[in-house]
Amino acid sequence: MKELEERIIKDGKIINGDVLKVDSFLNHQMDPKLFKAMAKEWKRLYEGEGINKILTIEASGIGIACIAGLEFDCPVVFAKKSKTSNTPEHSYSSTVKSFTRGTVNDIFVSNKYLDPEDKVLILDDFMATGEAAKGLADIVHQSGAKLVGIGIAIEKAFQPGGDELRSMGIRVESLARIKEMSQEDGIIFC
């Protein structure tokens, strides 16, 4: 998606070689107008799929997912993180490793908010190793709902997450796919 790629070039910062900082518009300060354009693009890509629920994970997926919820005209559920490994009763849960932070979180979704009739779109801001998306997909499968696909704002295509999910037969639509990046050469998209 041209508008997102241009924004990444303009406002993204590469630090420590492989960390892309986009906290001026995506995951600390957020640009709701850009999120609306992204939502319209996912709506176009998944047109006719009957999506009736959006699933994301706290915290930085929530803004994107809520604005997409307006476009898709459906409820949005966010998976909560629990560090206690005490996930509440009556919930679907999975485990997510964060390679950037070196943490492991249990994530959970109340079983009231996903059911076998649901056609679910998973949305998130970033994909690298794909651990968060795999955890969310696991939760969708537990619920018996249909996973229609995954929408990602920025995929680090040089990391394995996106292709692993695609090889599992899951449709992944990333609006900006980074092929390579470095402080010297900048960002090259796929």
Contacts to a copy of itself by CB under 8 A: 23-25, 28-33, 35-36, 58-60, 62-67, 69-70, 73, 75-78, 80, 109-110, 112-113
Contact yes or no for 156/99 (Cβ under 8 A): no
In whole angstroms, how close is the CB of 53 to a copy of itself at the nearest point? 9
The residue written with tokens 């005490």 in the block is: 86
In whole angstroms, how close is the CB of 136 to a copy of itself at the nearest point? 14
Of 40, 5, 7, 42, whose CA–CA distance to 24 is shortest? 7
In whole angstroms, how close is the CB of 19 to a copy of itself at the nearest point? 13
Query: 12-21: buried (b, 16+ CB within 10 Å) or exposed (e) per residue?
Result: bebeeeeebe
Type of residue at 153: A
The length of the chain in residues reads 190
In whole angstroms, how close is the CB of 166 to a copy of itself at the nearest point? 28
Residue 108 or 177 with smaller CB distance to a copy of itself:
108
Residue 65 or 128 with smaller CB distance to a copy of itself:
65
Residue 144 or 160 with smaller CB distance to a copy of itself:
144
Cα gap 114→155, rounded to integer Å:
26
